[in-house]
Amino acid sequence: MSTTAAPTSIRERAIQSISKLPPFSPVLTKLLASLSKDDIMVAELADWIEKDTVLTGNVMRIVNSAAYGRMGTVSSVRHAITILGTNRLRNIVLGLSVCNMLGQLKLPAGWSSRQFNMHSIAVANLADLLAQHLTIEYSEGAFVGGLLHDVGKLLLAVSCPDEYSAIISEARCENKEIYEVEILKLGLSHAELSQKVLETWKLPIPVQTAARFHHNPDADSTAPGLTALSRGIQMADYTVNALNIQAVADAGKSGTTPEASDPMVILQAFGLGDRADRILKDFEKEMESIKAIL
């Protein structure tokens, strides 16, 4: 195979693999469609969740976990919504549903679905927390944008496992960003592929754009500087990697400077100041509540 033909062939295989993704569950279909709404009714959300007994059980485990410090027992989805709010519970169910769907993919040796899902949920939670403390365009898309920012990595791992394994190894050995090696070797990055997936799923355009530019938000023309959703997801991604919650173990550096290994430095560079410590504590609480579920 010629050098010029390889990237095109791999690009085609990766894009074609989008059609082979597992089907959405009924709940996930409704949740993704609801992203275009400003809000959803309590009864509507509860009804969707309660039709899936496994999902309902996991929601109960989360809301009754020690992380939320409940003195009594929450026994219904509607009660859980009154505690967490509709948007928070929608995010939790979105995360669980997407992780369950992607967990059906047959991944190559060396890949861990749980590790990938943990990274995705972590970035989603932290991006959402950042959006609550900062002025970010389309902040309501922060959670789902963070949740799906790396879905392109899964498609590359499934569609071209040998080539992608070599890319991960090179990033690790040379301490490079994976997406830089992807572009060099494949002619496209996982971020571009993530955007194509979200376009196929008809997610809101700001979420598609944030996924596409989460490694280079300066190229995102939808919002200036620190207000770009892609910037928030980048900061969440770098911080989560610095906390050693990586999509692929030891797959290269998590930022572009030595300081990028310090979560506090990353968040303070985003203009958070004293709020950075509080955000990290809230993030730890959120992650503690779902660790036993993933």
Q: What is the pTM of this model?
A: 0.89
One DSSP character per residue, 241-291 reads HHTT--SSTT-S-SSSSGGGG-HHHHHHHTT-TTHHHHHHHHHHHHHHHHT
Same domain for 133 and 270, yes or no, is yes
Whether 36 and 151 map to the same domain: the answer is: no
User: What pLDDT does residue 6 have?
Assistant: 52
Q: Same structural domain for residues 131 and 58?
A: no
- Domain end, chosen from 66, 82, 104, is at 104
Q: What is the pLDDT of residues 172-212, one digit of tens each?
A: 898 888 889 999 888 889 999 999 999 999 999 999 999 99
| CATH number of the CATH domain containing 114 | 1.10.3210.10
Domain encompassing residue 130: 1-20+109-294
Same domain, 207 and 119: yes
Contacts of 191 (CB under 8 A, 6+ apart): 149, 152, 179, 211, 212, 213, 214, 215
User: Using one digit for the tens of pLDDT, what is the confidence trace for 102-112?
Assistant: 988 888 888 88
Question: Looking at 82-86, 126-130, 275-279, which range is the least confident one?
Answer: 82-86
Looking at 104, 119, 148, the residue that finishes a domain is 104
Mean pLDDT over 47-54 rounds to 91
226-253 pLDDT per residue, tens: 788 999 999 999 999 999 998 875 454 5
- Regarding whether 113 and 95 lie in a shared domain, the answer is no
Q: Are residues 99 and 177 in the same domain?
A: no
**Total domain count, the chain:** 2
Question: Same domain for 86 and 232?
Answer: no
Same domain assignment for residues 87 and 177:
no
The last residue of a domain, from among 104, 123, 158: 104
User: In this structure, are 9 and 145 located in the same domain?
Assistant: yes
Mean of the per-residue pLDDT values of the chain = 86
**Token representation of residue 46:** 């509860």
The reply to whether 47 and 145 lie within a common domain is no
Residues 287, 203, single domain; the answer is: yes
